[in-house]
């Protein structure tokens, strides 16, 4: 079990609040954009709930943006399904990546609590 899966809270809606929609990604969501697409395009995947979200057919470079808020609303890219494998790419709120999704098979949304509490 990775540290990311150990810290995943019960599946529920991501935090809501008064932050604005950025890069066409709704408040409280994590968004994945099409292969080679800029952040100004519409996302192809939008996730709101905590937990692992499995991917299929996502290859080459994509943008991904974490539009959750609250300092501890994180997203992680994992090489295995269901949040397993290598999960080293932690995305803090309002963070985005341009990365190769060929080895990525899941995106995990979770709340981080220092000390695991």
The model's pTM: 0.81
- Count of domains observed in the chain: 1
Q: Which two tokens stand for residue 58?
A: 């996502």
What are the residues whose beta carbons fall under 8 Å from the beta carbon of 42, sequence distance 6 or more? 24, 33
Q: What percent of the chain has pLDDT over 90?
A: 74
Question: What CATH number corresponds to the domain at position 32?
Answer: 2.60.20
pLDDT, residue 28, reads 96
Residue holding tokens 């540290």? 3
pLDDT, residue 74, reads 97
What are the residues whose beta carbons fall under 8 Å from the beta carbon of 48, sequence distance 6 or more? 13, 14, 26, 28, 29
DSSP for 49-65, please give it: BSEEEE--S--SEEEEE
Is residue 18 over pLDDT 70?
A: no
> Measured in Å, how far apart are the chain's first and last C-alpha atoms?
17
Q: 83 is in which domain, residue-wise?
A: 3-116
**CB 66 within 8 Å of CB 96:** yes
pLDDT, residue 9, reads 32
pLDDT in tens, 51-106: 999 999 999 999 999 999 889 999 999 999 999 999 988 999 999 999 999 999 99
Q: How confident is the model at residue 7 (pLDDT cuts 50, 70, 90)?
A: very low
């Amino acid at each position: 079990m990775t540290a990311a899966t150990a810290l995943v809270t019960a599946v529920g809606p991501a935090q809501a609040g008064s932050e604005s929609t950025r890069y066409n990604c709704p408040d409280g969501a994590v968004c994945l954009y099409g292969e080679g697409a800029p952040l100004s395009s519409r996302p192809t995947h939008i996730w709101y709930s905590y937990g692992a979200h499995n991917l299929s057919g996502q290859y080459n470079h994509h943008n991904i943006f974490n539009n959750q808020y609250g300092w501890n609303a994180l997203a992680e890219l994992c090489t295995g399904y269901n949040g397993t494998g290598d999960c080293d790419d932690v995305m803090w709120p309002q963070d985005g990546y341009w990365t190769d999704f060929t080895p990525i098979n899941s995106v995990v949304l979770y709340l981080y609590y220092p000390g695991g509490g």
